[in-house]
Structure 1
Amino acid sequence: MNLSPRLIVPDPDRASAFYQAALGAERVFSAPPVGADDGRPSVIEHRVGEATFRVSPSVEAWGWRSPDDLGGSAVLIEMEADDPDAVGERMVAHGAEVTVPIENRPSGKRSGRTRDPFGHLWIITGPLR
């Protein structure tokens, strides 16, 4: 079994550029527009390490709504990194906002949270420092 989250965003190309710059994601696939031919790709797939995720446009007729459409995100995406501080700093440098600072936690991990420019919430975790 393989799970591949799909993040719904207003502008998949802009989101793809953010994830490539901020997370080092590799863009591996892009599908042409479907339905309301507004030029937005219907899906862009990314790879980070061994994980994959996709971004797709918000399309109200399909029930695909972005966090901004919903007033927030109901999902937390957790990523483990060798250097969570560096990942958090790159995300912020490219437009994310810190919601919980990255610091050593009693759980034995270093972690914190960001909200990306599209409203998706990320927990960034890694080894203690």
Structure 2
Amino acid sequence: MSAIRPYVMVDDARVYGAFLERTFGAQVSTMIPLESNPERVIHAEARIGDSSVFFADSGPDGGRCLSSPAEPVHVQLWATVPDPDGVHDRAIAAGARSAAAVTIQDDGSRTGGFVDPFGTLWWVTTLA
């Protein structure tokens, strides 16, 4: 099964999460602070009905989250796919640049990233 989740980079993830709660009745299930600055958020997830939106604080230098090679990206796409290694390899063959090799994560999933030729940062992952 494949799925895509938007990953929105914002100036203040805590305020954005509160906005999603108020506007959509979202449930913010994850809010991970940046270790070096706990006021900033490196990853968050809000459930809206059967869907989820990932979001985090952005930074002008991309230091708080991975950026494309030239500029920080504002929207990242998170795709759950059966074979992230194959998708990553095919993307590179089609002109994308690797942002992160596909590796095993702490939860057992395999995740990697690439920047497509249009500047979008994609994360591809398996379900844990």
Q: Which bin holds the TM-score, normalised by the shorter protein?
A: 0.3 to 0.5
Structure number with the higher helix fraction is: 1
